[in-house]
Structures are given as structure tokens and as C-alpha cells.
Structure 1
Amino acid sequence: MSKTVKIAISLPEELLHAVEGERRTRGETRSGFFRHAAEHLLSQQRAQEAVTRYIEGYRQQPETEEEIALAHHLSIAVLTQESWS
């Protein structure tokens, strides 16, 4: 289990009111709300970084014409075997 540390943050009053309303609606504590918000933000950033790495890798080593043709051929072969009914 990880250690829990208390912190203090400053927020504009309008943002605090919005957070309070949302966390009450969700039935969360302030700590829980901000923990979930931070986890969500970090998760989104990791996902975006993974997409960026994927795109960069693809740009560095895209499929060859032969690979594209093979994928197209195999897709047709698989799809024509489906019943589609």
C-alpha cells in the first residue's frame, strides 16, 4: 500500500464551487475527487503519449506495398467466408 501525503492547493473560487458541486453529485470527498481527477489526467497523458509513439514508429517504418497488398488480400478472403446473414 502506498503512503498517503497531505497537500494544500490554491484554486480560483469559481473552480472550487464547480468542484464542490461535482464532487457532491458523485458522493466523493474532496481528496477523492482530486485523486480521481489527477489519475484521469495522467492516464489520458500516457494514452496520448502511446499514440504519439505509435504514429512516430509508423512514420519511421511504414508498411511496404507488399504488406498492404497481403493485408488487403487476406481481408477479402476472410470477409468472403462470413455468412453475413
Structure 2
Amino acid sequence: MSESRTRTLLKRVTMPVFKVGLVVFLVLGVVLVLGQAAGIVVGDGTLVEGVAGVLAVPMTTAAAVTGLLGFVLSYLHHWSGGED
């Protein structure tokens, strides 16, 4: 049974967007942690708060969108949840 054109298109579009989202939120998370660590090392509390204030919402948004795309991908590819 062949897949519909829409399903094939969704697969082709969703996976690259998922991968980009994954990279974006991981990079933002690393920058957030490194920025806060630098603030702790130099003893600058405003740096710690400032980095979190600037990056927390974009990082969380990217993570949420990527998580939802992963959920969509699981349906498009008929992935089954592994039972341990």
C-alpha cells in the first residue's frame, strides 16, 4: 500500500525541521549554562540572571516545538514505544 502524497511530504518536511529545532534548543541550552557558569565564576549575579532572562524563553519554546514535532514524527513513521 503506497503512502499518500501528503504523508510523504509531511515526512520530508518534518524531519529536517525537527533536526534544526533539536540543534537550536541544545545550543541555546549550552549557551545558557555556560553563561550562567561564567557569571558564577566571576561572581556577577546580574550576568546569571541576564543570561537566563534572555535565553530561557527561546530555549523552552524551541524545546517545546521540537518535542511536538517528535510526537508528530512518531505517528508519521509508525514508531512504537519500546517496553522495557
| TM-score normalised over the length of structure 2 | 0.38
Q: Which has the higher contact order (CA 8 A, sep 6+)?
A: 2
| TM-score normalised over the length of structure 1 | 0.38
